[in-house]
Structure 1
Amino acid sequence: MKIFKYRLLNHILFWLFIFSYYTAPRVVGYGFTAEAFINFLYIPLDILTVYFIIEFLIPRFVFRTRKLLLFAIGALFAIGLNIMISHFIMFNIQPLLGFWIMKKPFIYELFEWLTNSFMIVGMATALKLFSYSYNIQLTKSELERKTVQSELGILRSQVNPHFLFNVLNNIDALIYEDKEKASNAIVLLSKIMRYMLQESKHEQVKLNKEISYIEDYLELAKLSFSDPDFLKFSLNGLTKTNHIPPLLFIPIIENAVKHCNKQSESPGIEIEFSINDENIELKTSNYVKRNNFKLPNSGTGTGLKNVEKRLKLLYNENYKFDINQNMDKFEVFIKIPLKYSIK
């Protein structure tokens, strides 16, 4: 399809084909004589007719106004004028140039001229319409791609304020309880902010960097729990060579940390990553206070809703995203392919 990008080349190839189509049989029959190349007399007329139709009539009466009747009248007029001038050239110009003439019944000649004219004009018109449709599709695809990129950028940016709000609240509480822990929290926060500023603008990031960022977040989250075993994190599989969209998992993990019941038995929060050659899975579970937490319907919470939007934009239907609440336990499961493309 790349050939359709080169307009001049397309037109040259088209007219070379038309000329060869009518000349090759004559070369076979008469050899490389002047009579074999008599189409040089008629090709300029065909060129004028074709470009009048595809460059003047089609843009004005097909693409813009949809006045197909006016287009048909104009095209028939152009073809009729072409036939009249061709008839004049055949019986008046050809003899002057020394070309012989094979006289045929007028009806036969008219049918032959109409057939040839409609074939040339029809092919040119079909290619023009196809090129127009192809360019429209390219433009539409590019607009869709830019729209998706824009939406993804907005969704990524929406994660940051929510995340910072929760972290700063934790640090504020730690300042009064343990200054050393607060200092450690600020160091972790600086690492997290550096990652968010540098990596979130990319479409893909290395999975090991994303996991490291999540581990820093969880380390920061643990500072707010009295029991170090309250938050359990596990990672199964290799992360070095894979890539994923940035900041895709953190809203799910953040949701588990934010809405957990701190009075529940350890582990009150469980986060597990499972990675293989084709997919990556994340399972989170956390205890919540009964009658104090509503199950999000398909991710109605801000963080989970953004995750679901991003999943649809990135993977179409090639993902799993399940939310479940069983009594006082809230669970989220997500599964995505490691090789992805924006739809």
Structure 2
Amino acid sequence: MMHKNKKITVFSHLLAWLVLFSMPYVLSYGQEQDLNRVIAHFWIPLVFYAGIFYFNYFILIDRFLFVKKTWQFIIINGIIIAFFLLLKEQLEETFFQELARKSSKNAKRTGPPLKMFFYVQTLSYMAPLLFSIAIKTTKRWVKTEAERKEAANYKLQSELQHLHYQLQPHFFFNSLNNIYSLVDSLPEQAKTSIHSLSKLMRYMLYETNMELVPLSKEIDFMKKYIDLMKLRISDKTEVTYSFPSEDTGIKIAPLLFISLIENAFKHGVSASKESLINIVMNCEEKNILFIIENDNFPKKTDDKSGSGIGLKNLEKRLQLLYSNKHNFETTVKDDCFLVTLEIETT
């Protein structure tokens, strides 16, 4: 790709100079053209313009202007322009004497003062200098911007990876903590839970390393986790859930919803009171609406059944992945905890 871009750049430069060298013939099409006049007044200055342009583009701008040696840059270019002006005059007097005599006679009759002529010539030689500065500066800005975006993207990916790795042990230890409570009272359910957990961890380890996964796989993962959690709760807790039954074709960042379901089972279940956990997901086109409603039984401050990083982790990931394309709200009303998460996946 880089080799192809270089070829395109070289071709565009050659085409631009070819057009400039052809301009005298294009503008005087159908008229008699003096070749000596074209060479002296057009082609020689263009060669000098090209020299100023490329000398600045490849050498002077990088070595002086971009490293804040502005005065040296101005002085060197002043010397170069003065040299080319004198060289042009010398070439005209040496090789184009007849043309020089005609120009001298015309200048005496109707031409502008010598100072004005020198001023205009100087300005014409500054044009390729300014043009080279503009192109070089633009190219440098584009490169800097690309590097900045690459660095920002690398930082984003690193942070997301960190959050992803942070979530895995959090989920694993919370699940083990739940299974531990079954070992003595319900050993057979504990065995079943361990087997189910192994399937869930296999998904987390091997299928969630991609940026996006099919929503259908996430739904299957959540259903298995809900079934796993239902093994350890009593009949006093009613768990209902509703997910899209058909494949929506939506792809989503992995493991966005599991922290909310974990949180519902952690704070929405009581050993002595009746409780309800209701989980609903609706999809409309490419938008996802995820709602969890559960009774609220706040844990005591000395309860170590969870590290408390799940929801914080989720908020950070949502901000990084769906900065302006999500709405996340949590409310507590009448001892009921309600979570609403809307995500626009387009």
TM-score of the superposition, structure 2-length normalised?
Answer: 0.84
Name the structure 2 match of 1:68.
70
Residue 200 of structure 1 and its aligned partner are, at CA, apart by: 1.7
CA contact (8 A) 2:21 2:43 kept: no
CA deviation map 1:59-94 (0-9, x unaligned): 133322x23333223332222222222222232244
Name the structure 2 match of 1:321.
328
How many Å separate the matches in 1 of 2:18 and 2:89?
A: 19
Could you tell me which amino acid in structure 2 is paired with residue 13 of structure 1?
A: S
Paired residue secondary structure (2:184): helix
Name the structure 1 match of 2:315.
308
Residue 103 of structure 1 and its aligned partner are, at CA, apart by: 1.5
Decide which moves more: 244-253 or 327-336.
327-336
How many Å separate the matches in 2 of 1:5 and 1:333?
A: 50
CA contact (8 A) 1:280 1:335 kept: yes
How many Å separate the matches in 2 of 1:289 and 1:216?
A: 24
CA contact (8 A) 1:4 1:131 kept: no
CA contact (8 A) 1:290 1:327 kept: no
CA deviation map 1:136-170 (0-9, x unaligned): 11111111111111111111111111100111122
How many Å separate the matches in 2 of 1:338 and 1:264?
A: 41
Decide which moves more: 317-326 or 69-78.
69-78
Name the structure 2 match of 1:203.
211
Residue 121 of structure 1 and its aligned partner are, at CA, apart by: 1.9
Name the structure 2 match of 1:119.
127
Name the structure 1 match of 2:12.
13
Matched, 1:152 2:160: yes
Structure 1 unaligned spans of 5+ = 294-299
Pairwise mapping of residues 1-343 of structure 1 onto structure 2 (< 5 A)? Answer: 6-7=5-6, 9-14=8-13, 16-21=15-20, 23-29=22-28, 34-35=35-36, 38=39, 39-64=42-67, 66-94=68-96, 100-101=99-100, 103=103, 105=107, 106-107=114-115, 109-227=117-235, 230-236=238-244, 238-263=246-271, 266-289=274-297, 292=300, 301-339=308-346
Residue 271 of structure 1 and its aligned partner are, at CA, apart by: 1.5
CA contact (8 A) 1:46 1:82 kept: no
Could you tell me which amino acid in structure 1 is paired with residue 213 of structure 2?
A: V
How many Å separate the matches in 2 of 1:32 and 1:227?
A: 103
Structure 2 unaligned spans of 5+ = 108-113, 302-306
Could you tell me which amino acid in structure 1 is paired with residue 202 of structure 2?
A: R
Decide which moves more: 236-245 or 252-261.
236-245
Residue 309 of structure 1 and its aligned partner are, at CA, apart by: 1.0
Q: Judging changes above 3 Å, is the alpha-carbon distance between structure 1 residues 45 and 57 closer, same or farther for their aligned structure 2 residues? A: same
Residue 49 of structure 1 and its aligned partner are, at CA, apart by: 1.9
How many Å separate the matches in 1 of 2:32 and 2:142?
A: 41
CA deviation map 1:306-326 (0-9, x unaligned): 111111111222210111122
Paired residue secondary structure (1:177): coil
How many Å separate the matches in 2 of 1:264 and 1:93?
A: 109
Residue 14 of structure 1 and its aligned partner are, at CA, apart by: 3.4
Larger Rg: 2
CA contact (8 A) 1:23 1:36 kept: no
CA contact (8 A) 1:19 1:43 kept: no
Paired residue secondary structure (2:313): helix
Residue 114 of structure 1 and its aligned partner are, at CA, apart by: 2.1
Residue 199 of structure 1 and its aligned partner are, at CA, apart by: 1.9
Decide which moves more: 152-161 or 78-87.
78-87
Identity between Structure 1 and Structure 2 (%): 29
How many residues align? The count is 329
CA contact (8 A) 1:79 1:117 kept: yes
Q: Judging changes above 3 Å, is the alpha-carbon distance between structure 1 residues 259 and 94 closer, same or farther for their aligned structure 2 residues? A: farther
Q: Judging changes above 3 Å, is the alpha-carbon distance between structure 1 residues 85 and 237 closer, same or farther for their aligned structure 2 residues? A: farther
Q: Judging changes above 3 Å, is the alpha-carbon distance between structure 1 residues 135 and 255 closer, same or farther for their aligned structure 2 residues? A: same
Q: Judging changes above 3 Å, is the alpha-carbon distance between structure 1 residues 14 and 69 closer, same or farther for their aligned structure 2 residues? A: same
CA contact (8 A) 1:238 1:276 kept: no
